Structure 1
Amino acid sequence: MSVWDSIVGQERVTRMLSSVASGDPAGIAQSWLICGPPGSGRSNIARAFAAALESPDKGLSPEPTRQTRQVLAGTHPDVTVVATNKVTIGIDDVRDLVGLSEQNPSTAPWRIIIIEDVDRMLERTTNVLLKEIEEPAERTIWLLCAPSAQDVLPTIRSRTRLVSLAVPSLPAVADFLRSRGVDKDLAARCARLSEGHIGVARLYARDETARHDRDELVVGVLGLARASDAIVLASRLVKESSQQAEHEVARLIGEEEAEFRRVNGLGDGDRIPTSLRSAFNAIGKKDEIRRRVTRLSRDVLDRALTSIASVYRDVAVIQNSAQDHAGLVNMENSMAIVELSVALRRSQAIEAIEEVDRARARLSGNGNPLLVFEALFCSLAMLRR
């Protein structure tokens, strides 16, 4: 399949980028800003575009080329991907990127630098990047990713070509899961629970524990009545987030080690040569594992906030008699949601969603997760009094 076949619900964008990659290199913009809400696949789009630009077949052949496989696996020498485990991307990291961007590509037509979270740059850090974005080196392409153009400084927006992504439709996400061998009913449920977020849908499809934890969270939110309920639910959620993150990091490290062996022609039981041992050991380095667990724990908690918000979204849908038009996310809990919609005023349902937004802001500001969720659940319990 072509490099674009794994992109879900972005047909207009993939057609445009495929045409650009296949066109005259002299006419290719060298600074891009790829924007889309969480789950729209902006990082995957950036990688696919990079693979098409670097591959001799421009990403169109049914069988992926060596260059395509390398880019998508993160092992291509001329494609650098920056994703941070921190709240912000540091100025020293950006200075290193600027130095790298001035170097000619070693094996491919372009040196490509992908920054997954350019919105995490402080203004002074962005200023270091600005000149390179405005006047890139002759053979360098910058692919910047952010949730929206408004999350990026105007000085960056004005110097890049904007690509805007949409949230994939639920049928498109379900069809994608089915194409990966997921049962029809499970694919539809995972697409609905993920609210169109591709990565979350894939997680729910492959990980029964993640689905179970989400179900338990929704039941817990629907049952909030006292402060003690809030404290217990917050403690359980934070503990489960850490466990999920550890499980996911272990899975990812296993995949990366397997890919390292494959790329270097090593079997599962083969001894790692001395010349490669340092690079192999770096995959499972303790400090790196700790950082990844911390980052993924925050991702799990952010996903939990989306699930909590979906409860009150469903309440608002019922209160406004919009089920036929908007549908329910949490169909399995429809009776309890109907009861909650009667217990709350419309203004309280909106207030609950605003409380979730405030918790998200506190969490993204590096707030203590346990305190953030204790405060959130206590606020939600108080709304019922």
Structure 2
Amino acid sequence: MSVWDSLVGQKPVADMLARIAQSDPAQLTQSWLICGPPGSGRSNMARAFAAALESPDHGMNAEPTRVTQQVLAGTHPDVTVLTTNKVTIGIDQVRDLIATSEQMPATAPWRIIIIEDVDRMLERTTNVLLKEIEEPAERCIWLLCAPSAQDVLPTIRSRCRVVNLAVPSATAVADFLVAETGVEPKTAQRAARLSEGHIGIARLYATNERVMTDRDELVVGVLNLARASDAVLLAGNLIDNAKGQAEADANDWADKQEAEFRRVNGLAEGERIPPKLRGAFNQVAKKDDIKRFATRRTRDVLDRALNSVASIYRDVAVLQNNAEDSVGLINLENRTAITELSVRLNRAGAVARLDEVARARKRLAGNGNPLLTFEALFCALIP
């Protein structure tokens, strides 16, 4: 299949970029901003576009070329991807990218720089990038990724060609999960529905029973809120689960980093690190890096929790407005309890609780205390 076929629910954009990749290089825009909601596949779209620009077949052949395979695997010498497990992208990382961008490509037509989550840059970091985006080096293409154009400073946005991705349909996500992970169609359909079009979260729900169980318990807990003590207990359980997931992910990441170091240096598992490699080995998955990774993962889990809570009141509003036939419910397994809640709350009450979720999200973004934030949120949700 072509490089575009693995992208879920984005055929119009994929077709457009495929045509552009085959057009006159002299007419090619060199600064791009690829936007899409979390989980829409914007980073995968950027990689596919990069592969189409670099490969002689423009990524169209059913059998991928070696260039395409290298780009998608992140090993092509002329394609650099900046991704971060930290909360923000550092200014030194961007300066290194700029230095790389000014080098001529070694083997391919273009030197391509992909920055995932460019919205995580602080303003001073973005200002360092601005000149390169405005006047790229002769053979360099910048592919920036962000949730939306509004999440990027206007000075950057105005100098890029913006590409907007859609939210993949639940059917498209479910089909992808079955093909990609081999899970049962019923499991894939439920994961796709609960993820609300987020491919990464859908994969997580489909393949990680603990994550799915934590979500189920959270939804039931919110629906059963009756007093402040319920809110405090639920918030404590949520934070503990978030930390547990984050620590497990961080340790798994550290193990993979060590395994990759051993593979590259021809060392067997458990083999003693030679003295000449100890300095480099000590830089692999340092404690500070693991801590930052865990912090980022904790925020991801809490953000996912907020989405789950918001989905409850979205479903309440759907029932209150007799819109189930047209848009459906997300939390079908909890339909009875949500129906009861839709009767207890008026429409203004449902909207007010969605506002409370948005307020909690804003507090977390401002580095508010997570436990206090969720205690306040859950207290505000009590009918």
Q: What residue is the counterpart of 2:202 in the other structure?
A: 201
Give the distance between the partners of 1:47 and 1:366, measured in 2 at CA: 32
Q: How many residues align?
A: 381
Q: What residue is the counterpart of 1:298 in the other structure?
A: 299
Give the distance between the partners of 2:286 and 2:59, measured in 1 at CA: 33
**CA separation of 1:196 and 1:279: change in aligned 2, threshold 3 A:** farther
Shift of 1:279: 6.3
Residues 87, 296 of structure 2: 8 Å contact kept: no
Shift of 1:111: 1.7
Residues 87, 366 of structure 1: 8 Å contact kept: no
Residues 39, 197 of structure 1: 8 Å contact kept: yes
**CA separation of 1:169 and 1:280: change in aligned 2, threshold 3 A:** farther
Shift of 1:261: 7.1
Do residues 353 (structure 1) and 354 (structure 2) align?
A: yes
Q: What root-mean-square deviation, in Å, do the aligned CA atoms of Structure 1 and Structure 2 show?
A: 2.5
Q: What residue is the counterpart of 1:61 in the other structure?
A: 61
Shift of 1:160: 0.8
Q: What residue is the counterpart of 1:120 in the other structure?
A: 120
Q: What residue is the counterpart of 2:151 in the other structure?
A: 151
Give the distance between the partners of 1:127 and 1:266, measured in 2 at CA: 42
Do residues 312 (structure 1) and 313 (structure 2) align?
A: yes
**CA separation of 1:252 and 1:25: change in aligned 2, threshold 3 A:** farther
**Segment drifting more, 242-251 vs 154-163:** 242-251
Letter of the 1:63 partner, please give it: E
Shift of 1:132: 0.8
| Partner secondary structure for residue 112 of structure 1 | strand
Letter of the 2:335 partner, please give it: S
Q: TM-score, normalised by structure 2?
A: 0.91
Shift of 1:252: 4.5
Shift of 1:156: 1.5
Residues 87, 365 of structure 1: 8 Å contact kept: no
1:123-272 correspondence runs (5 A): 123-180=123-180, 181-253=182-254
What are the ranges of 5 or more consecutive residues in structure 2 without an aligned counterpart?
none
Q: What residue is the counterpart of 2:333 in the other structure?
A: 332
Shift of 1:66: 3.4
**CA separation of 1:243 and 1:66: change in aligned 2, threshold 3 A:** farther
Residues 87, 364 of structure 1: 8 Å contact kept: no
Give the distance between the partners of 2:313 and 2:301, measured in 1 at CA: 19
Deviation sequence 1:299-325 (CA, Å, 0-9, x none): 011001000000010111111111111
Letter of the 1:338 partner, please give it: T
Letter of the 1:310 partner, please give it: S
**CA separation of 1:59 and 1:308: change in aligned 2, threshold 3 A:** same
Give the distance between the partners of 2:279 and 2:43, measured in 1 at CA: 28
Give the distance between the partners of 2:258 and 2:49, measured in 1 at CA: 25
Q: What residue is the counterpart of 1:90 in the other structure?
A: 90
Give the distance between the partners of 1:164 and 1:110, measured in 2 at CA: 23
Shift of 1:290: 1.7
Deviation sequence 1:67-113 (CA, Å, 0-9, x none): 33333233333222223344433333323322221122233322211
Residues 18, 49 of structure 2: 8 Å contact kept: yes
Give the distance between the partners of 1:157 and 1:123, measured in 2 at CA: 13
Residues 247, 294 of structure 2: 8 Å contact kept: yes
Shift of 1:258: 6.2
Give the distance between the partners of 1:286 and 1:217, measured in 2 at CA: 31
Shift of 1:232: 0.8
Give the distance between the partners of 1:174 and 1:339, measured in 2 at CA: 29
| Partner secondary structure for residue 143 of structure 1 | strand
Residues 113, 141 of structure 1: 8 Å contact kept: yes
Residues 50, 79 of structure 1: 8 Å contact kept: yes
| Partner secondary structure for residue 133 of structure 1 | helix
**CA separation of 1:261 and 1:157: change in aligned 2, threshold 3 A:** same
Residues 34, 164 of structure 2: 8 Å contact kept: yes
**CA separation of 1:353 and 1:16: change in aligned 2, threshold 3 A:** same
Letter of the 1:38 partner, please give it: P
Q: TM-score, normalised by structure 1?
A: 0.91
Shift of 1:255: 5.5
Shift of 1:288: 1.9
Letter of the 1:161 partner, please give it: R
Give the distance between the partners of 1:335 and 1:188, measured in 2 at CA: 20
Do residues 342 (structure 1) and 343 (structure 2) align?
A: yes
Shift of 1:16: 1.4
Residues 51, 59 of structure 2: 8 Å contact kept: yes
